[in-house]
Amino acid sequence: MNAVKREEIFRRLKALNPAPATELVYRTPFELLVAVVLSAQATDKSVNLATRGLFAVANTPQALLALGEERIADYIKSIGLFRTKAKNIMAACRLLIERHAGEVPRAREALEALPGVGRKTANVILNTAFGEPTIAVDTHIFRVSNRTGLAPGKTVDEVERKLLKFVPEHYRKDAHHWLILHGRYTCKARKPDCPACAIRDLCEYRSKTEPTVD
Ligand code: SF4
């Protein structure tokens, strides 16, 4: 895909949604960190339902540690892998207090040292909590990047590398959210909504869907 097309794709995505944001509900970097850890293999909607109750009683590392693993698990039990996630959250809280005075660090290495936090989660925190131009490649972004030809790659690392290279700099900070939302609501996994897609004429996917005829 050439640079003119890439520029036009993001110009249109921006025109549709000038200030894209995560659908996870959070008020502080720490709340976002917990929400993103919980969101692995879970929908944002289910995470928001669980964190509404949890954050009302505890929304700092100190408060979650005091609440304890069993009670955290109880608040998040509607989410997949909740026992492992409760354990990781407890361990992450301990490290945040020991190493970072209870604050979420603004550094990739320190974030990735936290239990339950991998490269993707660190990218989300750096981008969404701290405004850094990182791009976390999740299943939606991986699919959209490959289908459109924007940043094709066999692995998430390859796609991330290409996106960081090819997304025009002035769009890089918000690219993560535009691509996720595009994948979640338009370029859907099983049946992309190509007839209604704002970037249809720029997309290089060979199997675009056609309008249904009654
Ligand atoms: S045209 Fe279809 S495949 Fe291409 S980005 Fe739009 S929805 Fe996805």
**Quick one: tokens of 22?**
């995560």
User: Is residue 105 in contact with ligand 1, taking CB distance under 6 Å?
Assistant: no
State pLDDT tens for residues 24-47: 999 999 999 999 999 988 999 999
- Of 141, 205, 206, 207, the one to substitute when testing ligand 1's pocket (max ligand atoms within 8 A of C-beta) is 205
Residue 112 tokens read as: 């990735």
Report the sign of the C-alpha dihedral through residues 135, 139, 141, 147, in that order: positive
Q: Is 71 a pocket residue for ligand 1 (Cβ < 6 Å)? A: no
Query: Encoding tokens for residue 81?
Result: 């892998």
Nearest to 141, CA basis, from 185, 179, 191: 179
In angstroms, rounded to a whole number, what is the distance separating the alpha carbons of residues 41 and 85?
Answer: 11
Confidence of residue 214 (pLDDT cuts 50, 70, 90): low
Rounded to 5 degrees, what are φ and ψ at 89?
-65, -45
pLDDT tens figures, 58-100: 999 999 999 999 999 999 999 989 999 999 999 999 999 999 9
- Is the whole-model pTM more than 0.85? yes
The catalytic residues are 120, 138
